[in-house]
Structure 1
Amino acid sequence: MDWLQVIVLAAVQGFTEFLPVSSSAHLILIPALTPWGDQGLAFDVALHLGSLLAVMAYFRRDLAAMGRSSLAAMAGRGVDAEARLALAVVLATLPVCAIGFVLHDVIEGQLRVTPVIAAAMIGFGLLLGYADRGGNGRRDEYSLRGRDIAIIGLAQALALIPGTSRSGITMTAALLLGLGREAAARFSFLLSIPVIVLAGGMEAMTLSRQAAPIDWSALAWGTVLAGISAYFCIRLFLAVITRLGMQPFVVYRLVLGVWLLWLFYG
């Protein structure tokens, strides 16, 4: 891999992992618009590691509080809001794990095609716009109850369809349940942690069975650059989302979805 490819792929992964615009749609554009071939599984693992480190660094205080409260709850010292939030993250992750395990081959084979990605970009983009239409809700992530967690968890499973956007669909569900934009984004970002860990772990297991040579320098720089871009993406998004709203991302998704159809079938 040349250095321009490393920089572009890391930046694209870092930003699109957390914005509601679908990283899969962007990553299929790169080989389509450049002479670069597939970057390989090892580099994918490195990019996911960078994204994981970024979101954990940004939410380090929240994660520490959730961890302390969860340990206190397991020791019988009561369940507070932080412990309930930690449990919500765990429970909302279960549907995507179960469905992803059962339908892995279908998702990676039959669904990873341009018409599906473009349709998901457009359809779920419109749904995001509808969810955001009423402005900012008043609930925060600590107000989630069992029904809310189940709905967001099932919505996250829809992100197994390429082009949906994991962050986009979980924010959509949270907005429809009355959460404010910032709260919806925060819970979506917290949900990304176990999902990235599990997805990266599966990729790492597959990689361990391959004998292909590994460019460790490219992997290290990819991890660092993806982490930096992801961290600043999270910080900027949370700083402006209350005022900006989701509509600019809706328009972007619609334009990109139509362009994908034109690019491959026009």
Structure 2
Amino acid sequence: MEIFQIVVLALIQGLTEFLPISSSAHLILPAEVLGWQDQGLAFDVAVHFGSLIAVVTYFRKDIWLLLRDGLGGLKSRQFSDEGRLAWLIVLATIPVGLVGLIFKGYIETHLRSAAVIAATTIGFGLLLWWADVRGARVQTLTQLNWKKALVIGGAQVLALIPGTSRSGITMTAGLMLGMKREAAARFSFLLSIPAIALPAMLLTYDLLALESVPWGDILLGTLLSFISAYLCIHFFLQFISRIGMAPFAIYRLILGAALIWMIWG
């Protein structure tokens, strides 16, 4: 891969992994416009690990409390807010883990077309906008219960369909359940840790079978993905309560229209 391609794709992956705008839709556009070939398995592993390192680094204090109180609660049989949240994250991860393992092959074979991505980019963009406008936006993370966590986890399953956006659909579900914007975003980002880690580990296992690995590309892609993802998380949480989801929904509509024009124009 050329340096320019590495930089563009790594920055796109890092930014779009956590913004509610769909990383898969964005990775199609540069390849189509510039005629790039598929970046390959090694690079996919690199940018996913970069995003994972970013979210773990940003929420390192939260993660420590979640692990400490989540495991400690099993011993004491009394859970703090952080301990309860830790197990709600585990519960919400189960649906996407099971469905992903069962239908991974089917999804990669039948649902990775530009037409599907264009439709989901537009459709779930409109749903995000509707949820932001109609949602009560009053509940915090401490008010999240197992039923609501399971609903958000079920919504995350839809993110297996390219163009949906994992962060977008989980925030949409949170807003529809009455969560505040920042609370929905925070839970979505914490939920991304196992959601990114599990497929990244599977990709790493596949990577070990390769005869030659472009380590230079991997290191650069990981670093750039980490930087862009970290900055994305920081600024998104800073401004989301003020700007709302409308700008991202409008952007998705424009992006979906661009994909449709590419397909049928």
Q: TM-score when scaled to structure 2?
A: 0.97
Superposition pairs for residues 86-125 of structure 1, below 5 Å?
86-125=86-125
SS in 2 for 1:133: helix
> Following TM superposition, by how much is the alpha carbon of 1:208 offset from its aligned partner in structure 2, in angstroms?
1.7
Identity of aligned residues (%): 52
Q: Is the 8 A contact 2:135 2:175 kept in 1?
A: no
Question: What is the CA–CA distance in structure 2 between the aligned matches of 1:40 and 1:115, rounded to whole Å?
Answer: 22
Encode CA deviations 1:170-223: one digit per residue, 9 max, x unaligned. Answer: 000000001000000000000000011101011111222232x21111110110
Give the aligned partner of residue 9 of structure 1. 9
Give RMSD over aligned pairs.
1.1
> Following TM superposition, by how much is the alpha carbon of 1:106 offset from its aligned partner in structure 2, in angstroms?
1.1
Following TM superposition, the consecutive aligned residue runs of length 4 or more in structure 1 with deviations greater than 3 angstroms are: none
Give the aligned partner of residue 256 of structure 1. 255
Encode CA deviations 1:54-108: one digit per residue, 9 max, x unaligned. Answer: 0001101100111110121122252111011000111000000111111111110
Give the aligned partner of residue 243 of structure 2. 244
SS in 2 for 1:75: helix
> Following TM superposition, by how much is the alpha carbon of 1:140 offset from its aligned partner in structure 2, in angstroms?
1.1
Paired letter, 1:265:
W
Paired letter, 1:84:
R
Question: What is the CA–CA distance in structure 2 between the aligned matches of 1:136 and 1:17, rounded to whole Å?
Answer: 26
> Following TM superposition, by how much is the alpha carbon of 1:136 offset from its aligned partner in structure 2, in angstroms?
6.3
Count of aligned pairs = 265
Q: TM-score when scaled to structure 1?
A: 0.97
Q: Is the 8 A contact 1:135 1:245 kept in 2?
A: no
Question: What is the CA–CA distance in structure 2 between the aligned matches of 1:112 and 1:14, rounded to whole Å?
Answer: 20
**2:200 aligned with 1:215, yes or no?**
no
Superposition pairs for residues 44-123 of structure 1, below 5 Å?
44-76=44-76, 78-123=78-123
Q: Is the 8 A contact 2:137 2:181 kept in 1?
A: yes
Superposition pairs for residues 182-197 of structure 1, below 5 Å?
182-197=182-197
> Following TM superposition, by how much is the alpha carbon of 1:135 offset from its aligned partner in structure 2, in angstroms?
6.5
Paired letter, 2:257:
V
Moved more, 131-140 or 7-16: 131-140
Question: What is the CA–CA distance in structure 2 between the aligned matches of 1:6 and 1:173, rounded to whole Å?
Answer: 33
> Following TM superposition, by how much is the alpha carbon of 1:42 offset from its aligned partner in structure 2, in angstroms?
0.5
Give the aligned partner of residue 235 of structure 1. 234
Question: What is the CA–CA distance in structure 2 between the aligned matches of 1:236 and 1:153, rounded to whole Å?
Answer: 25
